[in-house]
Amino acid sequence: MKDNPRRKRSKKFCKFHQDKGHFTEDCIQLKNAIEGLIREGKLEQFLQKEPETEIEHNPPPQPIIPCDTRVTVIAGGPGYGGESSRSRKSHMRAVGSVQNVTSLKRPRSPMQICFSDEDLRGVHYPHDDALVITAQIGVFIVERVLIDTGSSVDIIFSSAFDKMKLPVENLKPMRSPLIGFNGSPLQPDGMISLPLTLETPPKFTTAVVNFLIVRCPSSYNVIIGRPSINMLKAVPLTYHMMIKFPTPNGCGEVKGDQLDSRRCYATMLKGYGEGSSRSGEALTVEDIQQEDDEREKAPAPVEELKAIPHEG
């Protein structure tokens, strides 16, 4: 092959061919040779790997577990919404219209209800105990009173109501059932209005409360729900095991009984664990003492405990 005079004068040089005429990076034969080696996997260490992009791994959808039981709070009763469907709907609509009207001017109390570390004295930590107190209902001092912000009603269990020996004729009939006991509706025996007093002398507060009488095994005598708590403007805190409330003499308070709270809890579990046939034995009710007519006598806890069998 004759030499091309132009190639000799060219400044282009190919290192692959060791000859002039084109640059190395433009050599077609070199590119073909390199691609062949790449296909054979002999040049992987010289290849620039593309950065791996993070692939968002969505967890597989969890299967829907069928539920056999619905856990509910104690709901029902008259409350501020009344017993009729119309009054309850009106009660719901009232909340939505609050922001559309001019707020009413209400007298503000200069009293502040505060909790501090001083209130933690005597409380055993850590704990998850319910707030159980002693309160005065009518002329009776009642122990094992559960403060329950999840309840829309105030309840006196029939075992405690029977010990008060109040006339049954005083009970007003109730049309609305309660939801939350045993997962099914429960019809109260009736409703009775009694004064509820929270007190640590000399500070006390009283409100007339509509209690529902419920015939159901319970280790508590009474449940104080949202109606009474709001009526008394009380503030309960389970962490501090205390409920505080405003009074004319300053901020009043009632401390919870942590030992009683745990006894109630253990008694309730015992009743469920031993079967329905022995559930009556789980109903431990404190003695309820009738107070003297003298107002000066302060509420005092009952020392003796009696197990009252549940009469089904």
Contact call for residues 25 and 16 (beta carbons, < 8 A)? no
Pairing of strands 203-214, 154-157: parallel
- pLDDT band of residue 286 (cuts 50, 70, 90) is very low
Q: Is the pLDDT of residue 241 over 90?
A: yes
Greater confidence (251 vs 52) lies with 251
**Which residue in the block uniquely carries the two structure tokens 């708590």?**
229
Residue 17's pLDDT is 76
* Structure tokens belonging to residue 273: 């664990």
What's CA 266's distance to the chain center, in Å?
21
Q: What is the pLDDT of residues 126-160, one digit of tens each?
A: 999 999 999 999 999 999 999 999 999 999 999 99
Q: What is the DSSP string of 138-197?
A: TTEEEEEEEE-TT-SSEEEEHHHHHHHT--GGGPBP--SPEE-STTS-B--SEEEEEEEE
* Contact predicate 197/140, CB 8 Å: no
Query: Which one has a higher pLDDT value, 2 or 228?
Result: 228
* Tokens representing residue 235 in the block: 């503030």
Buried b (16+ CB within 10 A) or exposed e, 217-241: bbbbbbbbbbbbbeebebbbebebb
Q: Is the pLDDT of residue 86 over 90?
A: no
Q: With cut-offs at 50, 70 and 90, classify the pLDDT of residue 280.
A: very low
Is the pLDDT at 206 greater than 90, yes or no? yes
- What the chain holds in terms of domains, given with CATH numbers, is 12-45 (no CATH), 123-307 (2.40.70.10)
Short-list 227, 216, 151, CA closest to 194: 227
pTM score of the predicted model:
0.60
Contact 38, 47 (CB under 8 A): yes
Residue 251 and residue 131 in contact, taking contact as beta carbons nearer than 8 Å = no
Do 270 and 132 form a contact (C-beta atoms < 8 A)? Answer: no
Q: How far does CA 237 lie from the centroid of its chain?
A: 13
Give CA separation, 162 vs 193, 197, 202, 310, in Å: 15, 20, 30, 11
Please say whether the beta carbons of 231 and 224 come within 8 A. Answer: no
Q: What is the DSSP letter of 260?
A: H
The residue-averaged pLDDT of 162-171 equals 93
pLDDT reading at 299 higher than 60: no
